[in-house]
Amino acid sequence: MSTSRFKAVIFDLDGVITDTAHYHYLAWKRMAEQQGVYFDHAFNEQLKGIDRMGSLELILAAAGRLYTLEEKLALADSKNLHYQELITGMTAADLLPGAVAALDAVRAAGLKIGLASVSKNAFTVLDRLGIRDKFDYVVDAALIARGKPDPEIFLKAASELGVAPADCLGVEDAVAGVAAIKAAGMFALGVGLVSVLTQADLVIAGLDGFDLAVLQQVPVRLQTPAA
């Protein structure tokens, strides 16, 4: 029986377990430039942690024209088809350092494991990486009404895992994702830069620095009440 302060760990996918960011960048860049929008890595940073339609809206806002819903859906589908083509060659070699070891450590500690990714291609990516069976529950992003920073996706994962949000550890690399974890009432482990993920309770550079023993000792950073 686990003596951990946590009963479940809920991971994000992109930027935490694997890095599909480059593929998303290429797919968004092609779509944006077809609409006459200049798209570079700085623009791409604005999309981090945002779902597909939210990202599309940010790009089209710079296009200087109005789009019908049908046009938006067609552009989103076009981007997604290109992305799916790009990830066809993904394998276990695309797992980020420490990802499998972190998942195995969580399992060995007797904790449940969830995945809360806004990507509608999460199941495909997990299958290509060969790690789908390591998760007790994977949230289907297609069934989530509100994207991050709304806590819905993390609350859904906790509910399906049968664990109270306060007993969950959320792992994210995006500002919007960390905000979603904290809004859900969970402990937030940021993966990336301390200077960026300022809301996280603890930040590590990558999952190769994941240590449950250390996490047991880190106090929770309480949210500042809204004015």
Q: Check 14, 40, 104, 133 and give the catalytic one.
A: 14
55 marked as part of a ligand binding site: yes
28 marked as part of a ligand binding site: yes
* Calpha distance 56→80 (Å, rounded): 11
121 marked as part of a ligand binding site: yes
**Cis upstream peptide for 225 (omega within 30°):** no
51 marked as part of a ligand binding site: yes
201 marked as part of a ligand binding site: no
Of 66, 84, 88, 76, which is closest to residue 32 (Cα–Cα)? 76
118 marked as part of a ligand binding site: yes
80 marked as part of a ligand binding site: no
Q: Check 12, 77, 167, 208 and give the catalytic one.
A: 12
**127 flagged as catalytic:** no
Beta strands in 69-150 (DSSP E): 112-115, 137-138
- Please check whether residue 18 is in contact with residue 125, taking contact to mean a CB–CB distance below 8 angstroms: yes
**12 flagged as catalytic:** yes
172 marked as part of a ligand binding site: yes
221 marked as part of a ligand binding site: no
CB-based burial, 9-34: b 16+ in 10 Å, e otherwise: bbbbbbbbbbebbebbbebbbebbee
Annotated binding site for substrate: 12-14, 28, 47-52, 55, 79, 117-121, 148
Annotated binding site for Mg(2+): 12, 14, 172-173
Residues acting as catalytic residues = 12, 14
Annotated binding site: 12-14, 28, 47-52, 55, 79, 117-121, 148, 172-173
